[in-house]
Amino acid sequence: MTSVLYEFDTIVHGENKNNIFQFVKDRKLTNVYHSHDFYELICFLQGRGTQIVNDEEILTEEKTVMLLCPGDEHCFVEQSEDIEIISLSVRREHFELVSSAYGIFFEQHPHTFTFPRVSKLYDIYRENRIVSESDCTLILSSLLHAYIYAKDQFRQSNIPKELLMAVEKMKKRKNLKMGIPAFLSLSNYSQSHLSRLMKMHFGMGLKAYINEQRLLRAYDDLILTNESAEIISENLGFSSYSHFCKIFKDKFSVCPSSLRKGCKNKKG
pLDDT tens digits for range 73-85: 999 999 999 999 9
Quick one: how far is CA 87 from the chain centroid?
A: 15
Question: Is the Cα torsion angle 202, 204, 205, 211 positive or negative in sign?
Answer: negative
> Would you give the DSSP letter of residue 236?
T
H/E run at residue 87: strand 84-90
**190: confidence class by pLDDT, cuts 50, 70, 90:** very high
Under 8 Å between Cβ of 84 and 46: yes
Nearest to 11 by CA among 91, 99, 98: 91
Please give the order of strands across the beta sheet that includes 48-53. 4-6, 34-36, 74-79, 48-53, 56-61
Residue-averaged pLDDT of the chain: 87
Domains in the chain, CATH or no CATH each:
4-132 (2.60.120.810), 159-267 (1.10.10.60)
Please give the order of strands across the beta sheet that includes 64-68. 19-25, 84-90, 39-46, 64-68, 111-114
pLDDT digits (tens, 9 = 90+) for 89-125: 999 999 998 888 777 878 767 788 888 777 777 777 7
CA dist., res. 207 & res. 209, Å (int): 5
Predicted confidence at residue 253, as pLDDT, reads 81
CA dist., res. 240 & res. 229, Å (int): 12
CA dist., res. 7 & res. 36, Å (int): 6
* Bridge partner list, 61: 48
pLDDT at 154 over 60: no
